[in-house]
């Protein structure tokens, strides 16, 4: 069966409206974030994926192969 390694990170929501770095002040609080993380993993399992989870909020050493120095999605449709 197909699988995924699910690792939570606080950098999933950031604003880049001004300055040189994303702002994470509007990211969810840890309790809400952990609920969404669990819901995501449960939904992936319901869809037939094998899900290996990291520990929410923990410092972890991982091995990652990524294309490019950083991956940032910038949505320009909602300009708050």
Reported as a single tens digit per residue, the pLDDT across 46-55 is: 999 999 988 8
Catalytic amino acids? 11
Show the low-confidence residues of the chain (pLDDT under 50).
Answer: none
Q: What is the pLDDT of residue 6?
A: 87
User: Can you give the residue ranges of every domain in the chain?
Assistant: 1-80
Q: How many CB atoms lie within 10 A of CB 37?
A: 21
Q: What is the pLDDT of residue 72?
A: 64
CATH fold of 1-80: 3.50.80
The distance of Cα 9 from the centroid of its chain, to the nearest Å, equals: 5
Cα separation, 41 vs 43, in Å, equals 5
pTM of the model: 0.60
Q: Under DSSP, is residue 27 helix (H, G, I), strand (E, B) or coil?
A: coil
Helix segments in the chain, DSSP class H: 30-46
* Both tokens assigned to 39: 């819901």
């Amino acid at each position: 069966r197909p699988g995924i390694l699910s690792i939570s990170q606080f950098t999933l929501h950031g604003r880049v409206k001004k300055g040189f770095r994303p702002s994470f002040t509007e990211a969810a609080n840890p309790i809400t974030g952990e609920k969404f993380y669990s819901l995501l993993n449960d939904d992936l399992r319901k869809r037939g994926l094998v899900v290996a989870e990291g520990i929410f909020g923990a410092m972890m050493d991982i091995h990652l192969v990524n294309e490019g120095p950083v991956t940032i999605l910038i949505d320009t449709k909602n300009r708050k």
